Amino acid sequence: MNRALTLISFGAVLAFASAPLLASGNAAAGKTKAATCFACHGTDGNAVDPQYPRLAGQYNLYLQHVLHEYKDGQRDNPIMKGMVATLSDQDIEDVAAYFSSLPSKLDTLKGHISGDK
């Protein structure tokens, strides 16, 4: 039992320690690669129109995961599928690094939840 707990603990520490390595990407390159994103999500990642998600300050790995889901069809959005179709894994890492590095202006969910007035 102790050995199992030790192995689980070691695995958790290893996973936690490697998270920054998995979240790599070049934010400066990402800003250039994200130029087509700015029309909907804003240059600063804080979309003004509530139909578009605010990307600024989102977790890097979350953004990477979502972009991969759009690319492989797990998320069904024809506009986003088209936007990510030509992005390489490195492009996705860079774009995620850019948007995750930006400060969020979202201080409340009021008006940002579907059905809110």
What is the pTM assigned to this prediction?
Answer: 0.73
Its CATH class, for the domain covering 24-117, is mainly alpha
Residue whose pair of structure tokens reads 């995961």 in the numeric block: 65
pLDDT in tens, the chain (117 residues): 566 555 566 555 555 544 444 568 999 999 999 999 999 999 999 998 989 999 999 999 999 999 999 999 999 999 999 999 999 999 999 999 999 999 998 776 666 566 555
SS3 19: helix
The pLDDT value given to residue 113: 63
CB-hemisphere CA count at 13 Å for 11? 6
Q: How far apart are CA 42 and CA 109, in angstroms?
A: 18
